[in-house]
């Protein structure tokens, strides 16, 4: 299994205008757990303002996915408004 740590850099807290950057990659049976373990310290390193705008996401790549250099992470935005 291959897991990518993705950084979503967003212009504002609504996260409607974001750019996605792969920042790290793990391979193996514990790849997802290693990625999840890295997220809290990286999030804590962001300023309080940036914590509301940017976020780190662990994404599992399937074996049939393109190599990391060719893969373009997908951003799925869901908005719930009342």
What number of other Cβ atoms are within 10 A of residue 54's Cβ? Answer: 19
- Asked if the model's pLDDT at residue 76 lies above 70, the reply is no
pLDDT in tens, 34-69: 999 999 999 999 999 999 899 999 999 876 655 444
In the chain, alpha helices (H) = 31-45, 48-53
Per-residue confidence (pLDDT) for residue 82, from 0 to 100? 39
Question: 25 with 5: CB under 8 angstroms?
Answer: yes
How is residue 2 written in tokens?
Answer: 């291959």
């Amino acid at each position: 299994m291959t897991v990518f740590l993705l950084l979503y850099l967003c212009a504002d807290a609504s996260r409607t205008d974001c750019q996605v950057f792969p920042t790290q990659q793990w391979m193996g049976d514990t790849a997802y757990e290693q990625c999840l373990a890295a997220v809290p310290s990286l999030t804590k390193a962001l300023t309080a303002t940036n914590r509301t705008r940017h976020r780190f996401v662990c994404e599992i790549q399937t074996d049939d996915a393109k190599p990391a250099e060719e893969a373009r992470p997908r951003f799925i935005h869901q908005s719930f408004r009342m």
